Amino acid sequence: MKIAPLYKELKKHRRFNPILVHTGQHYDKEMSKAFFDDLRMPRPDIYLGVGSGTHAVQTSRIMVQFERICLAEKPDLVIVVGDVNSTLACAVVAAKLNVLVAHVEAGLRSFDKEMPEETNRKLTDHISDFLFTTCVDANVNLRKEGISKKRIYFVGNVMIDSLLQHIEIAAMSTILERLGLTGASRVARYAVVTLHRPSNVDSKVVFNAILRTLNKIAVELPVVFPAHPRTVKQTNKFHLMKLVDYGDNTIDYSDGRRKVKVISPLGYLDFLWLMKNAALVLTDSGGIQEETTILGVPCITIRNNTERLITISQGTNMLAGNDPKQILKAAGQILKSGKRRKRIPKYWDGKAASRIVAVLSQKIP
């Protein structure tokens, strides 16, 4: 979602010849193909296929393979996005080879050293030549860390570029009909959940408590949970499948039992349309906090902190941690008020990619 608008914008300029590299860190083939198709992206020029592993193993595999790519292709610039292991690995390789590095989504900070993503963010920022930020808070964070303002460019949010470019296409999705969430020409009231962070799904005690809390919310309205294969694996590992209704069939509460509805992962367009029409979203994802802000959909973040503070100060996001009482309290407030607070952050206007390419056109020799 972050690369798509950038790639398309770069292709508009003759002086740029972008090479698309897929590291394979997010290695589910069906999920990956669905997103490339939905975003109308070409197949990657290069696929590394590094797969899963510990942080050290995954990062080192990417570095070894990406170094070969850089030595062969001799790029003038390497663009990395976000805060995953691929981001740091490719940035380090490029920097060591004296290749310019641009970090898109720079400066975000959760101030939580236990988050591997926080390490990735900070290290990538300090070795990058171009730091493209999504909000003023990110600029402040970078300056406090001693990074020169000459390297910082406030351009907006490329995630929102993708959302705004695809929202009309997403309206053609049939996901609501497939799940039985429409009837008599109106959409049913429902909630959407995503969970994948180790702090939430790698502890049986924590994951069990979250699922039981979600089932309490399901008493009020259907709760749809498109679950990543790894999250489903943890559900099975901890013998928690009895707490959810698993399968891609229509939601059916006719037997009186209201459980979280776990379905297979969705493509970008299906998920965007499901999220847009939700009464409430509960998540531990960073990007979804931003997307719900633009869509005006109330969001509860099941984390103790967030690097996207602007989604709380200006958006629709509430921080609840993984404390069942706080999650239920936040959900109750949202469902009772029904309000969709919406204030669009500056430069979240669908033009971030064009601003980035404008900077690169001017600054790269």
Catalytic residue annotation: 196
Write out the two tokens for 198. Answer: 């180790």
Measured CA to CA, the distance from residue 234 to residue 197 in angstroms comes to: 11
Write out the two tokens for 335. Answer: 């469902």
Query: Please, which residues have CB within 8 angstroms of residue 53's CB and are 6 or more apart in sequence?
Result: 61
* Count of helix runs (H) and strand runs (E) in the chain: 16, 15
Strand, helix or coil at 198? helix
Which residue from 257, 293, 254, 300 is spatially nearest to 276, judged by alpha carbons?
293
Contact yes or no for 347/310 (Cβ under 8 A): no
Strand, helix or coil at 224? strand
State the pairing for strand pair 244-246/223-226.
Answer: unpaired
Measured CA to CA, the distance from residue 54 to residue 113 in angstroms comes to: 17
